[in-house]
Structure 1
């Protein structure tokens, strides 16, 4: 099993890659017998490093909740990561591509919590803890070279989170309609993906129930006021300098941004 020193060395290398933009070797190649538990320990050390550097953790992201994303990255289980105030953009804000290594975008929904959620939370508990629903995009990125990842690798790399784009205005989506929310993603006018809320583990709030319980076992409850992105409606699409993104959520509105 990897030692605490070995886990810390990988965490420090991944954290440094945010600034250097130089990807690292897959953690599984550096650490023999890397487990999911080891990978979350690596991720949590990076979270502490961001906080020590002045960031505020404002939410969580759940990844790999759709069959499309599991197939795209070759994994078979959801995972989660964190994002901070400095890893968050508003719709319409121009996003510098050079802040990332190999960025891709995916359409999602975000949920702001009105109550804490911890271990033992039921689906009904989750329903009762939703303050508002927001249109969102996750910008995924990999500090692991060439996106060469297994589940443990992506978990160690903060679930491949690069940044989030969340519309601060609540969307007029009734909780009972979440499964049927559509999303069509366009880059430079060309369709690059589509899906609906039901693609996200059958319901966009099922991943939130899963996360509350997984985090609860770690003694880290979800807190009122946090925002959680619960997973992509479809596969991710790469972006480059000059890309213009539009995600059409049908009657619920759209989210747009551009990359410079």
Structure 2
């Protein structure tokens, strides 16, 4: 690992904790960052956080038509999920704790002891919706951990009512204050949840990492990111798989 990656990771973490993420990417004459270096930064940030914050899984992002159109980027990319940033359905989230808070409705899975999908359920993914470069890049997205800042999980998740080799049918929808603002097919990312897992397993192997039993995996979404405001009530529903909700406080 280069000194550049180490120093940038320390800066990234300091910026993140100060509520001003990714200032490096606002510098007009910044050094060029490769995609591999961006992943190394992401992993080095995890190493710096490891003494107090445990990685509990991964996200696969920038694969569905919604986010690809919004960002003007084609993934997939991965990010890390931290135990300290998991919330339960019904939580009240502080708007001021984030920078440009946006949410995303998507399907997540929990892995069984043999590495298969044990559970599938809807989640609300939380984002600092900030790009500081002149144009969004995969390097900025990855170095900022896929702009993930947390996940809202359902209180309970039923044992798998779906075989992973079967196509997913049904609708994934997002409601804000009781109004549906986005919806799409649950299987609307390339290959569905299984396709995301297969890509993630191959990608992690390239970085000496592996999927582990019990990990939480966000498999991507066909929908887009939705900015929210204080007072908003958010609900994400996956047909036949349940719902999850949260309220945005000032």
Partner of 2:144: 157
Residues 91-116 of structure 1: per-residue CA shift (max 9 Å, x gap): 00111122211111111111111146
CA distance in 1, matches of 2:244, 2:117: 21
Query: 1:29 offset after TM fit, Å?
Result: 5.0
TM-score, normalising length: structure 1: 0.86
CA distance in 1, matches of 2:230, 2:135: 23
Are residues 1:65 and 2:52 paired? no
Query: 1:88 offset after TM fit, Å?
Result: 0.6
Query: 1:145 offset after TM fit, Å?
Result: 3.2
Q: Secondary structure at the match of 1:108?
A: strand
CA distance in 2, matches of 1:21, 1:204: 32
Aligned residues of 2:124 and 2:245 also touching (Cα < 8 A): no
Q: Between Structure 1 and Structure 2, which shows a larger proportion of helix residues?
A: 1
Are residues 1:10 and 2:8 paired? yes
Partner of 2:39: 40
Q: Secondary structure at the match of 2:78?
A: strand
Residues 208-227 of structure 1: per-residue CA shift (max 9 Å, x gap): 11001110121101111111
Q: CA separation of 1:7/1:241 partners in 2, compared to 1, >3 Å: closer, same or farther?
A: same
Q: Secondary structure at the match of 1:7?
A: helix
Partner of 2:246: 257
Query: 1:15 offset after TM fit, Å?
Result: 0.9
Aligned length: 246
Partner of 1:90: 88
Residues 3-23 of structure 1: per-residue CA shift (max 9 Å, x gap): 822222322222112221124
Partner of 2:153: 166
In structure 1, the gaps of 5 or more residues are: 118-128
Equivalent runs, 1:14-163 vs 2, <5 Å: 14-23=12-21, 24-26=23-25, 29=28, 31-52=30-51, 54-115=52-113, 129-142=116-129, 144-145=131-132, 149-163=136-150
Q: Secondary structure at the match of 2:208?
A: coil
Q: CA separation of 1:147/1:202 partners in 2, compared to 1, >3 Å: closer, same or farther?
A: farther
Which of 230, 233, 241 lines up with 2:219 in the alignment? 230
Residues 151-200 of structure 1: per-residue CA shift (max 9 Å, x gap): 11100111111101121422464135652131111112232211112211
Query: 1:60 offset after TM fit, Å?
Result: 0.7
CA distance in 1, matches of 2:207, 2:26: 22
In structure 2, the gaps of 5 or more residues are: none
Query: 1:254 offset after TM fit, Å?
Result: 1.8
Q: Secondary structure at the match of 2:187?
A: helix
TM-score, normalising length: structure 2: 0.90
Q: CA separation of 1:9/1:243 partners in 2, compared to 1, >3 Å: closer, same or farther?
A: same
- Computed over aligned residues only, the root mean square deviation of the Cα atoms, in angstroms, reads 2.2
